[in-house]
Amino acid sequence: MIKPPSAAWVQTPTPDLAKSRHFYEALGFKEVEGSPNFFWDGRVCVEVSPHPHARTGIKVSADFLADECSIKFPAVDPNGVKLYSDTEPDRKLPTMGEPFGKLGRHAVLSVESHDVSGTVAWWEAKGFTAKVRNYGAPYFELGGGLELELMKQGCCGHFSPSPGLTYFNSGENAKVIAEIRKAEIPITQELTMFSDDGSVKDVIIYDPGLTGFFVFND
DSSP of the chain: -PPPPS-EEEEEE-S-HHHHHHHHHHTT-EEPTTSTTEEE-SS-EEEEE--TT--SEEEE--GGGTTT--SSS-EE-TT--EEEE-S-TT---PPP----SSS--EEEEEEEES-HHHHHHHHHHTT--EEE-TTS-EEEEEETTEEEEEEETT---S---SSEEEEE-TT-HHHHHHHHHHTTPPPSEEE-TT-SSS---EEEEE-TT--EEEEE--
Decide yes or no: CATH 3.90.550.10 for domain 106-216. Answer: no
Question: Which pLDDT does position 70 carry in this prediction?
Answer: 82
The predicted model gives 212-216 an average pLDDT of 94
Percent of the chain with pLDDT over 90: 66
Question: Could you tell me what percent of the chain has a pLDDT over 70?
Answer: 94
At residue 143, the pLDDT reads 87
The better pLDDT of the pair 154, 13 is held by 13
Q: Is the pLDDT of residue 40 over 70?
A: yes
How high is the mean pLDDT of the chain?
90
213, burial (CB in 10 Å: exposed 0-12, middle 13-18, buried 19+): buried
Q: What is the pLDDT of residue 25?
A: 98
Amino acid identity, position 43: R
- Is the confidence at residue 1, as pLDDT, over 50? no
pLDDT, position 91: 80
- Residues 161-171 have a mean pLDDT of 91
Give pLDDT, residue 2.
57
Instruction: Give the per-residue pLDDT at 4.
Output: 64
Q: What is the pLDDT of residues 83-142, one digit of tens each?
A: 998 888 678 888 888 999 999 988 899 999 999 999 999 999 988 999 999 888 999 999
Could you tell me which residues are beta bridge partners of residue 106? 167
Specify the pTM. Answer: 0.92
Question: Is the pLDDT confidence value at 157 over 70?
Answer: no
